[in-house]
Structure 1
Amino acid sequence: MAQEIEIEFKNLLSEDEYQKLYTYLSFETVEPIEQTNYYFETEDLKLRSKGAALRIRQKNDTWTATLKEPHPDGLLETHDQLPKETADLWMNNQFSDAPHVEKQLNKLGISPSDLLYIGSLTTHRKERQYKDTLVVLDHSFYYDESDYELELEASSKQQGEKIFAELLTTYQIAKRQTENKIKRFYQAKLKSE
Protein backbone atom coordinates (compact mmCIF):
# COMPACT_ATOMS: atom_id res chain seq x y z
CA MET A 1 0.00 0.00 0.00
CA ALA A 2 1.41 3.40 -0.99
CA GLN A 3 -0.65 5.40 1.55
CA GLU A 4 -1.85 5.00 5.11
CA ILE A 5 -3.17 7.08 7.99
CA GLU A 6 -0.83 7.05 10.98
CA ILE A 7 -2.51 7.46 14.36
CA GLU A 8 0.30 8.06 16.80
CA PHE A 9 0.82 9.54 20.27
CA LYS A 10 4.21 10.81 21.48
CA ASN A 11 5.78 11.90 24.74
CA LEU A 12 9.36 12.88 25.43
CA LEU A 13 10.83 11.01 28.40
CA SER A 14 13.59 11.60 30.88
CA GLU A 15 16.26 8.90 30.94
CA ASP A 16 14.78 7.60 34.23
CA GLU A 17 11.26 7.40 32.74
CA TYR A 18 12.65 5.61 29.71
CA GLN A 19 14.41 3.05 31.95
CA LYS A 20 11.25 2.59 34.03
CA LEU A 21 9.13 1.77 30.95
CA TYR A 22 11.95 -0.36 29.52
CA THR A 23 11.93 -2.51 32.66
CA TYR A 24 8.21 -2.59 33.51
CA LEU A 25 7.08 -3.35 29.96
CA SER A 26 9.79 -6.03 29.50
CA PHE A 27 11.57 -4.37 26.58
CA GLU A 28 14.79 -6.19 27.48
CA THR A 29 13.36 -9.25 25.68
CA VAL A 30 12.77 -7.27 22.46
CA GLU A 31 15.30 -7.13 19.62
CA PRO A 32 16.58 -3.58 19.03
CA ILE A 33 16.07 -1.85 15.70
CA GLU A 34 18.42 0.83 14.41
CA GLN A 35 16.99 3.17 11.84
CA THR A 36 18.18 6.40 10.26
CA ASN A 37 15.93 9.13 8.87
CA TYR A 38 17.39 11.27 6.08
CA TYR A 39 15.43 14.53 5.82
CA PHE A 40 14.62 16.73 2.82
CA GLU A 41 13.19 20.24 2.44
CA THR A 42 13.07 23.07 -0.06
CA GLU A 43 15.31 26.10 0.40
CA ASP A 44 12.25 28.23 1.25
CA LEU A 45 10.78 25.58 3.65
CA LYS A 46 7.67 24.84 1.55
CA LEU A 47 7.12 21.42 3.14
CA ARG A 48 7.32 22.85 6.65
CA SER A 49 4.93 25.70 5.75
CA LYS A 50 2.34 23.10 4.72
CA GLY A 51 2.83 21.02 7.88
CA ALA A 52 4.46 18.28 5.79
CA ALA A 53 7.77 16.43 6.10
CA LEU A 54 9.78 14.23 3.75
CA ARG A 55 12.31 11.58 4.73
CA ILE A 56 13.99 8.42 3.57
CA ARG A 57 14.15 5.85 6.36
CA GLN A 58 16.89 3.24 6.29
CA LYS A 59 15.90 0.24 8.37
CA ASN A 60 17.91 -2.96 7.98
CA ASP A 61 18.48 -3.20 4.22
CA THR A 62 15.34 -1.28 3.21
CA TRP A 63 15.10 2.34 2.10
CA THR A 64 11.63 3.94 2.18
CA ALA A 65 10.76 7.46 1.07
CA THR A 66 7.83 8.81 3.13
CA LEU A 67 5.96 12.07 2.75
CA LYS A 68 3.91 12.95 5.85
CA GLU A 69 1.00 15.39 5.55
CA PRO A 70 -1.61 16.60 8.04
CA HIS A 71 -4.83 14.55 8.16
CA PRO A 72 -7.88 14.96 10.46
CA ASP A 73 -7.19 11.58 12.15
CA GLY A 74 -3.40 11.84 12.34
CA LEU A 75 -0.94 11.95 9.45
CA LEU A 76 -1.34 10.84 5.84
CA GLU A 77 1.80 8.94 4.91
CA THR A 78 2.73 8.29 1.28
CA HIS A 79 5.50 5.72 0.69
CA ASP A 80 7.83 4.53 -2.04
CA GLN A 81 10.38 1.74 -1.59
CA LEU A 82 13.76 2.75 -3.03
CA PRO A 83 16.87 0.80 -3.93
CA LYS A 84 19.95 1.97 -2.00
CA GLU A 85 21.43 3.48 -5.17
CA THR A 86 18.38 5.74 -5.59
CA ALA A 87 18.50 6.77 -1.92
CA ASP A 88 22.16 7.70 -2.40
CA LEU A 89 21.19 9.85 -5.39
CA TRP A 90 18.54 11.63 -3.28
CA MET A 91 21.20 12.49 -0.70
CA ASN A 92 23.15 14.07 -3.55
CA ASN A 93 20.04 16.12 -4.47
CA GLN A 94 19.15 13.98 -7.51
CA PHE A 95 15.52 12.92 -7.02
CA SER A 96 13.90 10.09 -8.95
CA ASP A 97 11.96 6.82 -8.75
CA ALA A 98 9.35 7.80 -6.14
CA PRO A 99 6.08 8.04 -8.13
CA HIS A 100 3.68 8.03 -5.15
CA VAL A 101 5.64 10.66 -3.21
CA GLU A 102 6.15 12.77 -6.34
CA LYS A 103 2.40 12.75 -7.07
CA GLN A 104 1.66 14.03 -3.54
CA LEU A 105 4.43 16.64 -3.74
CA ASN A 106 2.89 17.93 -6.97
CA LYS A 107 -0.49 18.24 -5.20
CA LEU A 108 1.29 20.40 -2.61
CA GLY A 109 2.77 22.54 -5.40
CA ILE A 110 6.32 21.34 -4.68
CA SER A 111 8.69 20.22 -7.41
CA PRO A 112 11.02 17.35 -6.48
CA SER A 113 13.82 19.28 -8.20
CA ASP A 114 13.51 21.94 -5.45
CA LEU A 115 14.26 19.46 -2.66
CA LEU A 116 17.53 19.48 -0.75
CA TYR A 117 19.02 16.90 1.59
CA ILE A 118 19.36 18.59 5.00
CA GLY A 119 20.68 15.91 7.39
CA SER A 120 19.93 12.75 9.36
CA LEU A 121 18.69 11.45 12.70
CA THR A 122 19.46 7.94 14.00
CA THR A 123 17.16 6.10 16.39
CA HIS A 124 17.71 3.01 18.54
CA ARG A 125 14.18 1.62 18.77
CA LYS A 126 12.35 -1.11 20.63
CA GLU A 127 8.75 -2.05 19.74
CA ARG A 128 6.22 -4.34 21.36
CA GLN A 129 2.50 -5.02 21.24
CA TYR A 130 0.55 -3.74 24.23
CA LYS A 131 -3.26 -3.94 24.62
CA ASP A 132 -3.90 -3.96 20.85
CA THR A 133 -1.49 -1.06 20.24
CA LEU A 134 2.18 -0.82 19.33
CA VAL A 135 4.33 0.75 22.06
CA VAL A 136 7.69 2.10 20.95
CA LEU A 137 10.66 3.31 22.99
CA ASP A 138 13.11 5.46 21.02
CA HIS A 139 16.54 6.84 21.85
CA SER A 140 17.42 9.29 19.07
CA PHE A 141 20.69 11.04 18.13
CA TYR A 142 21.02 14.14 15.92
CA TYR A 143 23.64 16.90 15.82
CA ASP A 144 24.86 17.21 19.44
CA GLU A 145 21.47 16.19 20.85
CA SER A 146 19.90 12.96 22.03
CA ASP A 147 16.47 12.31 23.48
CA TYR A 148 14.18 9.58 24.76
CA GLU A 149 10.64 9.17 23.51
CA LEU A 150 7.56 7.04 24.03
CA GLU A 151 5.38 6.49 20.96
CA LEU A 152 2.12 4.61 20.76
CA GLU A 153 0.47 3.61 17.47
CA ALA A 154 -3.18 2.61 17.45
CA SER A 155 -5.84 1.65 14.94
CA SER A 156 -8.22 4.35 16.22
CA LYS A 157 -7.75 7.73 17.86
CA GLN A 158 -10.04 6.84 20.77
CA GLN A 159 -8.24 3.59 21.57
CA GLY A 160 -4.83 5.28 21.29
CA GLU A 161 -5.80 8.18 23.59
CA LYS A 162 -7.13 5.75 26.21
CA ILE A 163 -4.09 3.43 26.27
CA PHE A 164 -1.61 6.32 26.05
CA ALA A 165 -3.22 8.13 29.02
CA GLU A 166 -3.27 4.85 30.94
CA LEU A 167 0.48 4.32 30.35
CA LEU A 168 1.38 7.84 31.47
CA THR A 169 -0.79 7.58 34.58
CA THR A 170 0.30 4.07 35.56
CA TYR A 171 4.01 4.89 35.32
CA GLN A 172 3.65 8.46 36.67
CA ILE A 173 5.03 10.16 33.58
CA ALA A 174 4.15 13.81 32.98
CA LYS A 175 2.39 14.48 29.70
CA ARG A 176 4.64 16.75 27.62
CA GLN A 177 4.00 18.69 24.45
CA THR A 178 6.20 16.67 22.08
CA GLU A 179 7.26 17.82 18.63
CA ASN A 180 7.85 15.14 16.02
CA LYS A 181 11.40 14.03 15.23
CA ILE A 182 11.84 16.27 12.20
CA LYS A 183 10.87 19.38 14.19
CA ARG A 184 13.30 18.44 16.94
CA PHE A 185 15.93 17.81 14.25
CA TYR A 186 15.28 21.30 12.77
CA GLN A 187 15.59 22.95 16.17
CA ALA A 188 18.96 21.24 16.75
CA LYS A 189 20.08 22.13 13.20
CA LEU A 190 19.28 25.82 13.80
CA LYS A 191 21.20 25.78 17.10
CA SER A 192 24.25 24.25 15.39
CA GLU A 193 24.39 26.85 12.60
Structure 2
Amino acid sequence: MSNLEIEYKTMLNKAEFNHLQNLLMHVNPVTQTNYYFDTPEGDMRAKKLSLRIRTFDKLAELTLKIPEKVGTMEYNVKLTKEEAREIMDSGRFPDCKVSELLTEKNIPLERLSVLGHLTTIRRETRLPIGLLALDKNHYANRIDYELELEVEDAKQGQKDFDDYLHTHNISFKYAKSKVSRFVATLQNKR
Protein backbone atom coordinates (compact mmCIF):
# COMPACT_ATOMS: atom_id res chain seq x y z
CA MET A 1 0.00 0.00 0.00
CA SER A 2 1.33 3.45 -0.87
CA ASN A 3 0.19 7.00 -0.34
CA LEU A 4 1.52 10.52 -0.76
CA GLU A 5 1.95 12.13 2.64
CA ILE A 6 1.78 15.93 2.79
CA GLU A 7 2.24 17.18 6.32
CA TYR A 8 3.17 20.29 8.22
CA LYS A 9 4.73 20.13 11.64
CA THR A 10 6.17 22.19 14.41
CA MET A 11 8.04 21.41 17.58
CA LEU A 12 6.21 22.45 20.74
CA ASN A 13 7.42 23.56 24.12
CA LYS A 14 5.91 21.81 27.13
CA ALA A 15 3.36 24.57 27.82
CA GLU A 16 2.11 24.50 24.20
CA PHE A 17 1.91 20.71 24.32
CA ASN A 18 -0.04 20.78 27.60
CA HIS A 19 -2.47 23.36 26.19
CA LEU A 20 -3.20 21.23 23.10
CA GLN A 21 -3.33 18.01 25.11
CA ASN A 22 -6.03 19.56 27.32
CA LEU A 23 -8.06 20.27 24.17
CA LEU A 24 -7.61 16.65 23.01
CA MET A 25 -8.32 14.80 26.26
CA HIS A 26 -11.36 13.19 24.58
CA VAL A 27 -8.95 11.42 22.19
CA ASN A 28 -7.47 8.18 23.50
CA PRO A 29 -3.67 8.21 23.27
CA VAL A 30 -1.95 5.48 21.25
CA THR A 31 1.61 4.36 21.99
CA GLN A 32 3.73 3.43 18.99
CA THR A 33 7.41 2.60 18.73
CA ASN A 34 9.45 3.27 15.59
CA TYR A 35 12.50 1.08 14.96
CA TYR A 36 14.75 2.77 12.40
CA PHE A 37 16.98 0.94 9.90
CA ASP A 38 20.11 1.89 8.01
CA THR A 39 23.37 0.33 6.90
CA PRO A 40 26.58 0.95 8.89
CA GLU A 41 27.66 3.23 6.02
CA GLY A 42 24.46 5.32 6.19
CA ASP A 43 23.12 4.37 2.74
CA MET A 44 19.53 5.25 3.70
CA ARG A 45 20.42 8.70 5.01
CA ALA A 46 22.71 9.40 2.05
CA LYS A 47 19.75 8.83 -0.30
CA LYS A 48 17.31 10.71 2.00
CA LEU A 49 15.28 7.55 2.50
CA SER A 50 13.68 6.44 5.74
CA LEU A 51 12.90 2.83 6.70
CA ARG A 52 11.16 1.86 9.89
CA ILE A 53 9.07 -0.75 11.58
CA ARG A 54 6.35 0.83 13.69
CA THR A 55 4.87 -1.37 16.39
CA PHE A 56 1.55 -0.84 18.12
CA ASP A 57 -0.14 -2.77 20.89
CA LYS A 58 -1.17 -5.71 18.69
CA LEU A 59 0.25 -5.13 15.21
CA ALA A 60 3.11 -3.58 13.28
CA GLU A 61 3.92 -1.93 9.96
CA LEU A 62 7.00 -1.73 7.75
CA THR A 63 7.30 1.71 6.11
CA LEU A 64 9.64 3.12 3.49
CA LYS A 65 9.51 6.89 2.94
CA ILE A 66 10.80 8.43 -0.29
CA PRO A 67 10.80 12.23 -0.64
CA GLU A 68 8.90 13.75 -3.56
CA LYS A 69 8.82 17.32 -4.90
CA VAL A 70 5.77 17.89 -2.71
CA GLY A 71 5.40 15.56 0.26
CA THR A 72 6.73 12.10 0.83
CA MET A 73 5.67 8.85 -0.81
CA GLU A 74 5.03 6.21 1.86
CA TYR A 75 5.05 2.49 1.15
CA ASN A 76 3.50 0.42 3.95
CA VAL A 77 3.39 -3.31 4.61
CA LYS A 78 1.21 -4.62 7.45
CA LEU A 79 2.98 -7.05 9.79
CA THR A 80 2.18 -9.05 12.87
CA LYS A 81 4.28 -8.19 15.90
CA GLU A 82 5.97 -11.59 15.47
CA GLU A 83 6.89 -10.83 11.84
CA ALA A 84 8.24 -7.43 12.91
CA ARG A 85 10.38 -9.00 15.63
CA GLU A 86 11.70 -11.60 13.16
CA ILE A 87 12.78 -8.87 10.70
CA MET A 88 14.48 -6.87 13.45
CA ASP A 89 16.23 -9.94 14.87
CA SER A 90 17.29 -11.57 11.60
CA GLY A 91 17.69 -8.57 9.28
CA ARG A 92 15.81 -10.49 6.59
CA PHE A 93 13.09 -8.52 4.84
CA PRO A 94 10.06 -10.16 3.21
CA ASP A 95 9.56 -10.09 -0.55
CA CYS A 96 7.37 -7.01 -0.89
CA LYS A 97 7.18 -3.60 -2.57
CA VAL A 98 9.44 -2.09 0.14
CA SER A 99 12.30 -4.55 -0.41
CA GLU A 100 11.84 -4.24 -4.19
CA LEU A 101 12.17 -0.42 -4.00
CA LEU A 102 15.18 -0.63 -1.69
CA THR A 103 16.89 -2.96 -4.16
CA GLU A 104 16.07 -0.57 -7.04
CA LYS A 105 17.72 2.22 -5.05
CA ASN A 106 20.85 0.08 -4.53
CA ILE A 107 20.36 -0.32 -0.77
CA PRO A 108 22.04 -3.59 0.30
CA LEU A 109 19.22 -5.31 2.24
CA GLU A 110 21.64 -7.67 3.97
CA ARG A 111 23.49 -4.66 5.47
CA LEU A 112 20.38 -3.07 7.03
CA SER A 113 20.00 -3.24 10.78
CA VAL A 114 18.09 -1.48 13.54
CA LEU A 115 19.76 1.76 14.65
CA GLY A 116 17.48 2.11 17.66
CA HIS A 117 13.98 3.21 18.49
CA LEU A 118 11.76 6.17 19.32
CA THR A 119 8.48 5.79 21.23
CA THR A 120 5.59 8.19 20.65
CA ILE A 121 2.45 8.73 22.68
CA ARG A 122 0.06 10.15 20.08
CA ARG A 123 -3.36 11.74 20.21
CA GLU A 124 -4.70 11.81 16.67
CA THR A 125 -7.96 13.33 15.48
CA ARG A 126 -9.54 14.25 12.15
CA LEU A 127 -10.38 17.94 11.81
CA PRO A 128 -11.99 19.72 8.83
CA ILE A 129 -8.46 20.94 7.92
CA GLY A 130 -6.79 17.50 8.03
CA LEU A 131 -5.49 14.77 10.31
CA LEU A 132 -4.00 16.34 13.45
CA ALA A 133 -1.45 14.44 15.57
CA LEU A 134 -0.13 15.61 18.93
CA ASP A 135 3.02 13.67 19.83
CA LYS A 136 5.15 13.22 22.93
CA ASN A 137 8.35 11.45 21.79
CA HIS A 138 10.81 9.51 23.97
CA TYR A 139 14.26 8.61 22.58
CA ALA A 140 17.91 8.61 23.71
CA ASN A 141 17.01 9.84 27.21
CA ARG A 142 15.14 12.80 25.66
CA ILE A 143 11.54 13.91 25.43
CA ASP A 144 10.24 16.27 22.79
CA TYR A 145 6.82 17.47 21.71
CA GLU A 146 5.50 17.88 18.19
CA LEU A 147 2.33 18.82 16.34
CA GLU A 148 1.65 17.45 12.84
CA LEU A 149 -1.12 18.16 10.36
CA GLU A 150 -1.51 15.77 7.43
CA VAL A 151 -3.37 17.37 4.51
CA GLU A 152 -4.54 16.64 0.98
CA ASP A 153 -3.61 19.98 -0.62
CA ALA A 154 -0.16 21.46 0.07
CA LYS A 155 -1.04 25.14 -0.45
CA GLN A 156 -4.32 25.11 1.49
CA GLY A 157 -2.73 22.86 4.11
CA GLN A 158 0.05 25.37 4.78
CA LYS A 159 -2.51 28.15 5.28
CA ASP A 160 -4.70 25.98 7.53
CA PHE A 161 -1.70 24.91 9.62
CA ASP A 162 -0.50 28.50 10.05
CA ASP A 163 -4.04 29.57 11.03
CA TYR A 164 -4.28 26.71 13.55
CA LEU A 165 -0.98 27.73 15.17
CA HIS A 166 -2.08 31.37 15.28
CA THR A 167 -5.48 30.47 16.80
CA HIS A 168 -3.75 28.50 19.57
CA ASN A 169 -0.99 31.07 20.12
CA ILE A 170 1.75 28.63 19.09
CA SER A 171 4.95 29.96 17.57
CA PHE A 172 6.28 27.86 14.69
CA LYS A 173 9.50 25.98 15.51
CA TYR A 174 11.09 24.00 12.67
CA ALA A 175 10.73 20.25 13.19
CA LYS A 176 13.10 17.83 11.54
CA SER A 177 11.64 14.38 10.95
CA LYS A 178 11.57 11.99 13.89
CA VAL A 179 14.20 9.80 12.25
CA SER A 180 16.49 12.83 11.73
CA ARG A 181 16.15 13.87 15.36
CA PHE A 182 16.80 10.30 16.48
CA VAL A 183 19.84 9.87 14.19
CA ALA A 184 21.30 13.16 15.45
CA THR A 185 21.52 11.62 18.93
CA LEU A 186 23.59 8.76 17.48
CA GLN A 187 25.96 11.17 15.74
CA ASN A 188 26.45 13.08 18.99
CA LYS A 189 27.67 9.86 20.64
CA ARG A 190 30.53 9.42 18.15
**What TM-score do you get using the length of structure 2 for normalisation?**
0.95
Q: Give 1:164's aligned residue.
A: 161
| Distance across 2 between alignment mates of 1:82 and 1:50 | 25
Does residue 13 of structure 2 align to residue 14 of structure 1?
Answer: yes
| Distance across 1 between alignment mates of 2:31 and 2:82 | 20
Q: Cα distance, 1:175 vs. partner? A: 1.4
Identity fraction in percent: 34
Q: Is the 8 A contact 1:145 1:188 kept in 2?
A: no
Cα deviation, 1:40-76, whole Å, max 9, x if unaligned, reads: 0011111101111100001221110000011112001
Gapped regions of structure 2 (runs ≥ 5): none
Q: Is the 8 A contact 1:93 1:115 kept in 2?
A: no
Q: Give 1:144's aligned residue.
A: 141
| Distance across 1 between alignment mates of 2:66 and 2:110 | 19
| Distance across 1 between alignment mates of 2:136 and 2:82 | 28
| Distance across 2 between alignment mates of 1:123 and 1:192 | 22
Identify the match of residue 129 of structure 2 among 124, 132, 137.
Answer: 132
| Distance across 1 between alignment mates of 2:155 and 2:57 | 32
Kindly report which structure 2 residues correspond to 1:29-178, keeping only aligned pairs within 5 A, or say none.
29-178=26-175
Q: Cα distance, 1:173 vs. partner? A: 1.6
| Distance across 2 between alignment mates of 1:174 and 1:97 | 43
Q: Tell me the C-alpha RMSD between the 2 structures.
A: 1.3
**What TM-score do you get using the length of structure 1 for normalisation?**
0.93
Amino acid at match of 1:81: K
**Would the alpha carbon gap of residues 33 and 137 (structure 1) be closer, same or farther in structure 2, given more than 3 Å must change?**
same
Amino acid at match of 1:158: K
Q: Is the 8 A contact 1:86 1:97 kept in 2?
A: no
| Distance across 2 between alignment mates of 1:151 and 1:111 | 32
